[in-house]
Each structure stands twice: as structure tokens, then as C-alpha cells.
Amino acid sequence: MNLTQVIGWVGVVAGASISLPQVIKSYRSKSTAGVSRRTYQLLLLTIICYLIRAVEIGAPVFIVGNSLSLVMCIVMLTFFGRYGNEDKD
């Protein structure tokens, strides 16, 4: 594995963990207040598009990264359904 591949995998870990603090906070507080549902809906569309392209070109680093991000996004959207969103965006 060369340096750019290592950097790519570090990016996967960093990128996939972006939503983790919000997921944890929403789970603990049982609330999605102050969080934009629309942002996560658009993020879901974006991740799906990137994931389709990553599978097409056979890029494991992007497949793994986008798959992890997809899981986090789905979890957050599930929380919106379960806990509601007082902001009603």
C-alpha cells in the first residue's frame, strides 16, 4: 500500500465518522431538535450517487467510505422518524 492509498483510507475513517457525534447526541437525548432533516435527505441522495459510481469503477476505498456514511445517514433519518424534529424543516 502506497502513501496515497493510506491517505485515502484515513479519509474514509475521517469522512465516515463525521456524523457519529450527531448520531450519538441524538440517540442519548432522544431528540433531533436543531438538526436539519433536509440536510440528511440531500446527503442520502449524494451518498447513493457516489456509491453507485464507486461500485461501477471498482474503488474499494470509496465503496467502504460511502457505505459507512450511508449507514450513519440512514440512522439519523430513522431518528427523525422516531424522535420527530421540532424545527419542522
Dist CA 22 CA 37 (whole Å): 12
Largest CA distance in the chain: 48
Q: Give the percent of the chain with pLDDT over 70.
A: 96
C-alpha dihedral, 23 to 29 to 35 to 38, nearest 10°: 70
Work out the pLDDT band at 85, boundaries 50, 70, 90: confident
Q: What is the pTM of this model?
A: 0.86
Tens-digit pLDDT profile for residues 14-56: 998 999 999 999 999 999 999 999 999 999 999 999 999 999 9
Q: Is the pLDDT of residue 89 over 70?
A: no
Q: Is the pLDDT of residue 67 over 80?
A: yes
